[in-house]
Structure formats: structure tokens, C-alpha cells
């Protein structure tokens, strides 16, 4: 993504802060996503980067990206504490949190393929959840042809290997069809009963007229 000429000095300043922080606390995967967020902010019209401090923007970017990658989860191989952010950028926690919220809204950072670091892609259910005919499915267990369609639409990060559990989709589809057939049969039976009741009423009326 091309950086506007007027924002190039600002970009370089914030990018340098991100590179130093990610080198010390995180890794290249996080740096890539943080720089992507910075580029998007540079290309907003008008860009919000014309105002505010560079270290505040850098801290907000790290938190905005980190939150959708469970960055405070100590079970993750790469994780942070809020103190790390405060110390690394010399910014108050409340200020960082506020800026991160602002950034997420501005450039739509969410639990998605675009904002998930590659090493977490396999384990992040948000990267694999798709909706088909009003039902939510884990795309890893869909038939291959549907996985290809999801991938081509950018809904999943890659086409997973064939998995025996992809019968989940067929089972759900079959259950849906069975439910629809059962409902149709019940409606048909109700219609027959109504017709039968009407016929009995008519027969009674006819008998009354004869008498």
C-alpha cells in the first residue's frame, strides 16, 4: 500500500517505534500486521495521524492488533502484559486502550483472516466460521468444493486437507431436509384431517335434510 507523501515522515516515525517494540516483545508476525494497520491509517481520508503523539498511535496499534490475537493470554507462545505496553511506549494504560478502540473502529480490525497472525490461524475458530443457508459451519469440515468457494471469496485463509469429519455438513443438510419433509408430512396430514372433518359435517347436514 502506497504511503501519501505528506505522511511519509509520520509513517517512518511510528513504524520505527513499532519495529523496536516488536523486536523486543513480539515477533515479525505481529510487526507485519501492525505495519498493515499503520498503512491503512495513513491512507484514511483525512488521516487521523496528523494529530496525536507517535508513541500513542504505536501503542494503540499494537493493542488493537494484539486484542484480536489474544495477546494477553499467557498460554500463547508470544504474549504481553499491559505493563509491557505502558513501559515500552511510555503511555498510560487508559490512553492506550482508548486509542486502540479508536483504531479498531476506523480500520475495522476484527477477529478475521486479515488480522490473525499466521501461527494462530489454525486454532482461531473465527477464521474458519462461515454461514451457509442460515447455518454456521466450521469450514475445515466442509466438502472440498465448498471449501474452494469459501477460499476464493476470502472467507478462509487456505483450503485445508480433506478431513473425515467433513461429513458434518452433509449430516446437517440431511437433518434439515428430514425436518422439512417431516413438517410437510404433518401439514399434509393436518389438511387431510380437516377435509375429513368437513366431509363428516357435510354428511351430518345431508342426513338432517333427509329426515
The Cα 42–Cα 46 span in angstroms is 9
Asked if 106 contacts 100 with a C-beta cutoff of 8 angstroms, the reply is: no
Give pLDDT tens digits for 94-122. 999 999 999 999 999 998 889 999 999 88
Residue 173, preceding peptide bond in cis (omega within 30° of 0): no
**43, 87 contact by CB (below 8 A):** no
Q: How confident is the model at residue 64 (pLDDT cuts 50, 70, 90)?
A: very high
pTM comes to 0.71
Please determine, for residue 165, whether its predicted confidence score (pLDDT) is greater than 60: no
* Per-residue model confidence as pLDDT tens digits over 184-201: 666 676 666 667 666 655
Amino acid at each position: 500500500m502506497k504511503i501519501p507523501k505528506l505522511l511519509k515522515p509520520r509513517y517512518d516515525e511510528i513504524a520505527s517505534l513499532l519495529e523496536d517494540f516488536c523486536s523486543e516483545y513480539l515477533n515479525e508476525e505481529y510487526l507485519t500486521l501492525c505495519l498493515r494497520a499503520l498503512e491503512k491509517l495513513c491512507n484514511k481520508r483525512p488521516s487521523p495521524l496528523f494529530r496525536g503523539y507517535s508513541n500513542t498511535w504505536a501503542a494503540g496499534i499494537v493493542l488493537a492488533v494484539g486484542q484480536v490475537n489474544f495477546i494477553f493470554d499467557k498460554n500463547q507462545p508470544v504474549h504481553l502484559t499491559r505493563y509491557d505496553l505502558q513501559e515500552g511506549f511510555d503511555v498510560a494504560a487508559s490512553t492506550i486502550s482508548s486509542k486502540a478502540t479508536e483504531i479498531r473502529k476506523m480500520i475495522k480490525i476484527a477477529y478475521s483472516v486479515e488480522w490473525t497472525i499466521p501461527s494462530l490461524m489454525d486454532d482461531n475458530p473465527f477464521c474458519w466460521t462461515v454461514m451457509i443457508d442460515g447455518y454456521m459451519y466450521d469450514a475445515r469440515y466442509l466438502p472440498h468444493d465448498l471449501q474452494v468457494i469459501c477460499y476464493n471469496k476470502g472467507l478462509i485463509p487456505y483450503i485445508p486437507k480433506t478431513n473425515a469429519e467433513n461429513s458434518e455438513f452433509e449430516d446437517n443438510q440431511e437433518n434439515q431436509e428430514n425436518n422439512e419433509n417431516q413438517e410437510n408430512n404433518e401439514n399434509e396430514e393436518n389438511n387431510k384431517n380437516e377435509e375429513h372433518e368437513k366431509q363428516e359435517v357435510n354428511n351430518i347436514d345431508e342426513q338432517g335434510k333427509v329426515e
